């Protein structure tokens, strides 16, 4: 098991949520104080550097026009980390390539980071959440077709070393493509793609990339991971390696239950602060008409995040792991076994107002007391035994998951 420390780099110092319509897209940037912002950027970079020192790997991402994530250009921060860190692998999850107009530029940025870090890049591609549609001005209909076309172009740009080629696709055109530098890792850095359904998992598995799932919880994880494993087996004639699957949960480890609960409640800011106006939640062409209709009616949150999250419910769902090291280990183990196994844990370990110290405390407890046991657990992974365990454990019937039923792809 590899664990990737992740924070979305929020700017949490906001007025009362009742005073604005949406934390995303149209919240005026007069609320952003550059001095505070500078302090926060340095704090977040320090957290990632601490992760490196603790033996954790690093994940970052980007969003646009939002206080929930101050990073509109993830490659810039990852470029800094390529220089500042020594051992950690550097996962960007990811580049919103359906929304970016120049896939070649993405291929170049990623190659640079890979070379600078001497081959520590893990390169993720994502379709992007609905509220990215307006800032990117990218009509989301056929978004996954667009994503895969950009993907094909980037892969070719990375792996083609004999001089220029041209590309004339449906969505993208490129002339005399011949990127400098080329990637450090050969033939290319590992590729990750987010997935939110068995269908999207199939697409990822066909290509043998790592498929990452965010906060799908017990209700959804099996159908997505099963979809991946089945497709991988069909396409590659062997079981999917454990490292091709990743799950992102919010994790807080405390010295005792009380401390853990306090920390986890602060971590829950990620969900509770996500006030998004309907028009940005539900751009035409992002969701299926049936999901879009539910959002228009106001019964579903389109982000896949619950309308009113509560810690105990989120823990029961498998979205949040919180407790003492022993409790957190048991929670992850239970979810890991239920899901059929995965080799990458994306640890959302900081959100909102969580300070450097409280974040580091949790990371330390995790890396010293939970992580070694997780590594042991996954080292013992045997596909056959897992299949038996998986078959003997019935699907969990959970409480109402209406608010989480929406496909959640970062």
Q: Site residues (CB under 8 A) for another protein?
A: 21, 25-26, 134, 137, 139, 141, 277-280, 283-285, 287, 289-290, 292-293, 296-298
**Nearer residue to another protein within complex by CB, 292 or 322:** 292
**Nearer residue to another protein within complex by CB, 138 or 267:** 138
| Secondary structure class of 120 (helix, strand, coil) | coil
**Nearer residue to another protein within complex by CB, 131 or 252:** 131
CB of 274 to another protein, least distance (A): 17
Q: Which two tokens stand for residue 46?
A: 């320090």
CB of 63 to another protein, least distance (A): 17
For helices 371-379 and 325-339, what crossing angle results, to 10°? 30
CB of 66 to another protein, least distance (A): 15
CB of 286 to another protein, least distance (A): 9
Phi, psi (deg, nearest 5) at residue 298: 90, 15
> Nearest to residue 232, comparing CAs of 212, 207, 196?
207
| Cα 282 to Cα 22: distance, rounded to the nearest angstrom | 13
CB of 104 to another protein, least distance (A): 21
Burial group, residue 152, by CB count within 10 angstroms (0-12, 13-18, 19+): middle
Q: Which two tokens stand for residue 54?
A: 């603790």
C-alpha angle 52-57-58 in degrees, rounded to nearest 5: 90
CB of 173 to another protein, least distance (A): 14
**Nearer residue to another protein within complex by CB, 26 or 265:** 26
**Nearer residue to another protein within complex by CB, 135 or 349:** 135
CB of 296 to another protein, least distance (A): 5
> Nearest to residue 120, comparing CAs of 195, 53, 183?
183
CB of 276 to another protein, least distance (A): 11
Cα 137 to the chain's mean position, in Å? 22
User: Tokens 């042991």 belong to which residue?
Assistant: 376
| Cα 53 to Cα 32: distance, rounded to the nearest angstrom | 31
CB of 75 to another protein, least distance (A): 25
User: Tokens 């028009």 belong to which residue?
Assistant: 279
> Nearest to residue 378, comparing CAs of 323, 337, 348?
337
Q: What is the DSSP letter of 24?
A: B
| Cα 220 to Cα 108: distance, rounded to the nearest angstrom | 35
User: Tokens 């992850």 belong to which residue?
Assistant: 332
**Nearer residue to another protein within complex by CB, 181 or 289:** 289
**Nearer residue to another protein within complex by CB, 132 or 358:** 132
**Nearer residue to another protein within complex by CB, 50 or 134:** 134
Length of the chain: 410
CB of 138 to another protein, least distance (A): 9
**Nearer residue to another protein within complex by CB, 148 or 356:** 148
DSSP code per residue over 285-316: TTS-HHHHHHHHHTSS-TTSS-SS--HHHHHH
**Nearer residue to another protein within complex by CB, 32 or 171:** 171
Cα separation of the two ends of the chain: 22
Within 10 Å of residue 11's Cβ, how many Cβ atoms? 21
Are residues 51 and 363 in contact, defined by beta-carbon separation less than 8 angstroms?
yes
């Amino acid at each position: 098991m590899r664990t990737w420390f992740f924070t979305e780099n929020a700017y949490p110092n906001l007025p009362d949520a009742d005073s604005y319509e949406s934390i995303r897209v149209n919240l005026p940037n007069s609320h952003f104080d550059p001095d505070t912002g500078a302090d926060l950027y340095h704090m977040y970079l320090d957290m990632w550097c601490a992760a490196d020192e603790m033996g954790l790997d690093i994940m970052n991402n980007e969003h646009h026009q939002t206080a929930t994530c101050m990073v509109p250009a993830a490659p810039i921060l990852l470029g800094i980390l390529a220089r500042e860190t020594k051992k950690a692998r550097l996962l960007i999850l990811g580049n919103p390539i359906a929304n970016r107009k120049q896939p070649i530029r993405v291929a170049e940025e990623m190659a640079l980071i890979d070379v600078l870090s001497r081959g520590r890049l893990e390169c993720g591609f994502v379709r992007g959440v609905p509220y990215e549609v307006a800032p990117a001005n990218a009509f989301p209909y056929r978004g996954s077709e667009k994503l895969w076309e950009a993907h094909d172009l980037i892969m070719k740009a990375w792996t083609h070393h004999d001089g220029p080629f041209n590309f004339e696709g449906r969505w993208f055109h490129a002339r005399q493509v011949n990127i400098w530098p080329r990637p450090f890792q050969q033939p290319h850095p590992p590729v990750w793609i987010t997935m939110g359904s068995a269908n999207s998992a199939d697409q990822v598995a066909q290509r043998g990339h790592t498929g990452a799932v965010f906060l799908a919880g017990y209700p959804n994880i099996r159908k997505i991971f099963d979809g991946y494993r089945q497709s991988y087996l069909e396409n590659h004639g062997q079981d999917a390696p454990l490292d091709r699957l990743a799950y992102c949960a919010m994790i807080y480890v405390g010295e005792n239950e009380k401390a853990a609960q306090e920390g986890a409640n602060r971590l829950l800011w990620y969900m509770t602060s996500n006030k998004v106006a309907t028009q940005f939640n539900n751009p035409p062409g992002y969701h299926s008409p049936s999901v879009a209709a539910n959002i228009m009616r106001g019964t579903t949150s389109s982000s896949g995040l619950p309308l009113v999250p509560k810690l105990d419910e989120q823990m029961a769902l498998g979205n949040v792991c919180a407790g003492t090291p022993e409790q957190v280990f048991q929670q992850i183990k239970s979810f890991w076994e239920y899901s059929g196994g995965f080799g990458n844990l994306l640890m959302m370990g900081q959100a909102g107002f969580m300070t450097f110290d409280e974040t580091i405390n949790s990371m330390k407890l995790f890396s010293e007391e939970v992580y070694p046991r997780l590594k042991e657990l996954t080292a013992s992974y045997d596909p056959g035994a897992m299949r038996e365990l998986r078959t003997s454990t019935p699907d969990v019937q959970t409480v109402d998951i209406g608010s989480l039923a929406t496909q959640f792809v970062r």
